[in-house]
Structure 1
Amino acid sequence: MGGQGRDFDAIVERLSLAPKVRAAVEGDFYSVLYLHTPTLPGGEVGVHSPVLNDTRLIAPRDWGNIWVYGLQIYVAGWLTKNEFRRKSKRLRPGSEVKQYRHTSTDNWAVAVRELRPMEELIEAAKKWGV
């Protein structure tokens, strides 16, 4: 389970879930960004927020992966969500972009030169045990 703390610091926790058994995380998650499992769960997985008093159930059919097959991906850098919010510029619908003729919805853009170097992220991931 990965997410962010109140100050947008990254939190990653590993849990082992037995069927029909609850497990609590140790970290103080402000937001949950992803859940990862090595295999597809055989039943629903619930995520409960005591602060929001809300539980979200994820059915087996709702899981998906973000693997990209047969393509090359270039990762030029990274930003925290907070940094992206501060540095990004709004692109209104109809804006011209390099990927396609024009945008059809609101988009947000940051210049590559504004990104943090990948080395920082790699070192942080090593510390998190990812």
Structure 2
Amino acid sequence: MIPGRSRQKNQSSHYEIQRQITELENGGEILNETRSFDYKRGCTMPMRDKEGKQDYRFMPEPNLPPLVLYDDTSVPPDADPQQVISIDRLRDMLPELPSATRERLVQQYGMLPEHSFALLSCHTLCTCRAPRPAGQ
């Protein structure tokens, strides 16, 4: 037995093959478009045209507010704190990059560069990574 999603994919492929054959036999042409399969009706429905717009994959989501990013120096005084996304705070939450960790191991502990590469390549030994220092 074919699982549900595979069966729907096969049904949509079969329907679309037949639809395109019929379209060509009737003198029509096949449009380059994205179609959705309605499994209850057993047919595909056009969603959007791929020919006209470069950004055909964009689908508006009316329930999402606009996303506005600020650094700590550019936050408007009247900005709602619930809608402020600080790129500086996000950057501070990121872990230290491997290249920075290797450099720190060499500088702070006098480790040979090749040993720092070996240490970071072993996942069980990678607990030496520190939080990223502010300003990096």
**Structure that is richer in helix per residue:** 2
Question: Which of structures 1 and 2 has the bigger CA Rg?
Answer: 2
Q: Which structure would you say has the larger RCO, counting Cα contacts within 8 Å and 6 or more residues apart?
A: 1
TM-score in terms of structure 1 length: 0.19
Greater strand share, structure number: 1
What TM-score results when the alignment is normalised by the length of structure 2? 0.18
